[in-house]
C-alpha cells in the first residue's frame, strides 16, 4: 500500500478546473442538505424543538425508496409521488399519535420523545434490514453531464434541481397559502392562534408532516448516487443541524443558503485536505458563526 501511494503524484489541487468541479459538486450536495435542513428548521420554527428523529426518518425514507426500487422496480424519481405523501402521512400520524400524546404540552418532553423514536427506528432497521449498506443501480447512476468542462453525475444534477424545486414549493406553501399563514401564526403566537380558531394541534402535526415530507423528497433524490444503512441518517442530521444553526434557527432562507455553503465547504475542504478531513471546514465555519453571529446568518435576535 505504502509504495502504491508514493507512486501517484499529488493532485493538482488548486487547478481552477478541478476547483470549479468541486464547487459544482458541493452545490449539488448542498441542495439536498438544504432540503433536509428545511424540514428540520420548519419543525424547529413551529414546534420549538429539535427533531432528533430527523435522521432516522430520512433513513426510513431511503429504505422506502430502496424497496420500491428492488421489489416493485420503481425508479427513485418515479417514487417521489409515493414517498412524499407517505412521509407526510407518517409525520402527521407520528405527531398526533405519539408525540402530542406523550409530550403533555411540554417542549422538553417532545425532545426526549424524538430522541427515543430515533433510537427505536434505527434499531428496528438494524433488526429487519440488517446492517448491510445497500445501493441501487439505475441506468443513469454513472452518467455524467459536462458543465463548462466539469463532469457532474446526472443523479447529482437531478438532486440539485429537484431539491430547489421542492424548496420553492415549500416556500410557496408557507408564504402564500392559508395553511402557511396558520403555520407561521402558530410558530410565534400559539395563544393568539387559538383565539382566531386555528386548530393548533392540527397545524403542529401538519408542520411535522411537511418536515418529514421534505425527507421523502430528499431520499428520492439521494439514493441513486448514495447508499442506505441503518446509521445513514446520523451524518445527515448532524450536518442539517449545523446548517439550521448556521442559517438561523427557523429561517428558511438561512437553511437554503446554509445548505449550499456547507455543501461547497465540505466539497472544497475534501479536495484540499482529503476526504476524511473535509468536514473540518464545516465545523470551523460553524464555530466562527457562533462566536460572531450567534443568532445565525439569517436569524432574528431573540
Partner 1 sequence: MAETLLEVQGLTAGYGAVRILHGLDLQIAAGEIVALLGSNGAGKSTFNNTLSGIVRASGGAVKFAGETITRAAPMAIVDAGLIQVPEGRRVFPNLSVLENLELGAYRRGKAGKTANLERVYSLFPRLLERLTQKAGTLSGGEQQMLAIGRGLMAEPKLLILDEPSLGLSPKLVEELFALIGTLNREGLSILLVEQNVGQSLEIAHRAYVMEQGAICFSGLPGELLANPALKRAYLGM
**Comparison of 90 and 198: residue with beta carbon closer to partner 1:** 198
| Least distance to partner 1, CB of residue 164, Å | 25
* Nearer CB in complex with partner 1: 142/172: 172
In terms of DSSP H, where are the helices of the chain? Answer: 2-7, 16-47, 54-72, 80-94, 100-103, 107-129, 154-176, 178-188, 190-195, 200-222, 232-247, 252-273, 280-292
Give whichever of 49 and 182 is closer to partner 1, judged by the CB atom. 182
Please state whether beta strands 144-147 and 150-153 pair in parallel, antiparallel, or not at all (unpaired): antiparallel
CB of 48 to partner 1, least distance (A): 14
Closer of 188 and 293 to partner 1 (Cβ): 188
Q: Residues in the site for partner 1, rule: CB under 8 A?
A: 178, 181-182, 184-185, 187-189, 191-199
In the complex, minimum distance from the CB of residue 191 to partner 1, in angstroms, rounded to a whole number: 5
Instruction: Tell me the β-bridge partners of 151.
Output: 146
Is-contact 37 30, C-beta < 8 A?
no
CA 213 vs CA 85, 219, 299: distances in Å: 7, 10, 24
Closest CB to partner 1 among 198 and 282? Answer: 198
Closer to partner 1 at the Cβ: 198 or 214?
A: 198
Instruction: Using the minimum distance from each CB to partner 1, give the nearer residue, 100 or 198.
Output: 198
Task: Name the minimum Å distance from CB 177 to partner 1.
Answer: 11
Cell numbers at residue 137, please? 443501480
Distance from C-alpha of 255 to C-alpha of 247, rounded to nearest angstrom: 5
The answer to whether the beta carbons of residues 246 and 262 sit under 8 Å apart is: yes
Q: Read off the C-alpha cell for 302.
A: 431573540
Place of cell 509504495: 3
The angle at the Cα of 266, spanning 263 to 267, to the nearest 5 degrees, equals 85
Task: State the nearest-atom distance from the C-beta of 291 to partner 1, in Å.
Answer: 27
State in angstroms the smallest separation of the CB of 188 from partner 1.
5
Q: Min. distance of Cβ 193 from partner 1 in angstroms?
A: 8
Amino acid at each position: 500500500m505504502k509504495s502504491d501511494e508514493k507512486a501517484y503524484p499529488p493532485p493538482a489541487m488548486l487547478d481552477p478546473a478541478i476547483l470549479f468541479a468541486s464547487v459544482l459538486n458541493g452545490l449539488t450536495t448542498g441542495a439536498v442538505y438544504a432540503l433536509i435542513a428545511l424540514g428540520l428548521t420548519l419543525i424547529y420554527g413551529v414546534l420549538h424543538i429539535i427533531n432528533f428523529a430527523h435522521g432516522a426518518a430520512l433513513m426510513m425514507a431511503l429504505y422506502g425508496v430502496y424497496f420500491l426500487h428492488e421489489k416493485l422496480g420503481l425508479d427513485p424519481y418515479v417514487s417521489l409521488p409515493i414517498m412524499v405523501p407517505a412521509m407526510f402521512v407518517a409525520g402527521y400520524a407520528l405527531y398526533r399519535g405519539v408525540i402530542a400524546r406523550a409530550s403533555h404540552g411540554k417542549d422538553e418532553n417532545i425532545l426526549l420523545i424524538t430522541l427515543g423514536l430515533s433510537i427505536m427506528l434505527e434499531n428496528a432497521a438494524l433488526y429487519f434490514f440488517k446492517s448491510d449498506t445497500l445501493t441501487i443501480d439505475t441506468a443513469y447512476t454513472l452518467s455524467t453531464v459536462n458543465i463548462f468542462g466539469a463532469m457532474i453525475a446526472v443523479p447529482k444534477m437531478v438532486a440539485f434541481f429537484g431539491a430547489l424545486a421542492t424548496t420553492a414549493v415549500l416556500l410557496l406553501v408557507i408564504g402564500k397559502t392559508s395553511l402557511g399563514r396558520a403555520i407561521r401564526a402558530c410558530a410565534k403566537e400559539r395563544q393568539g392562534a387559538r383565539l382566531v380558531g386555528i386548530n393548533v394541534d392540527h397545524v403542529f402535526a401538519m408542520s411535522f408532516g411537511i418536515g418529514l415530507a421534505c425527507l421523502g423528497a430528499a431520499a428520492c433524490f439521494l439514493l441513486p448516487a448514495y447508499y442506505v444503512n441503518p446509521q445513514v441518517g446520523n451524518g445527515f442530521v448532524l450536518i442539517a443541524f449545523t446548517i439550521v444553526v448556521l442559517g438561523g434557527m427557523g429561517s428558511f432562507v438561512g437553511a437554503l443558503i446554509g445548505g449550499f455553503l456547507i455543501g461547497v465547504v465540505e466539497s472544497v475542504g475534501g479536495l484540499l485536505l482529503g476526504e476524511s478531513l473535509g468536514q473540518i471546514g464545516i465545523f470551523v465555519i460553524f464555530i466562527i458563526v457562533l462566536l460572531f453571529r450567534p443568532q445565525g446568518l439569517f436569524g432574528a435576535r431573540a
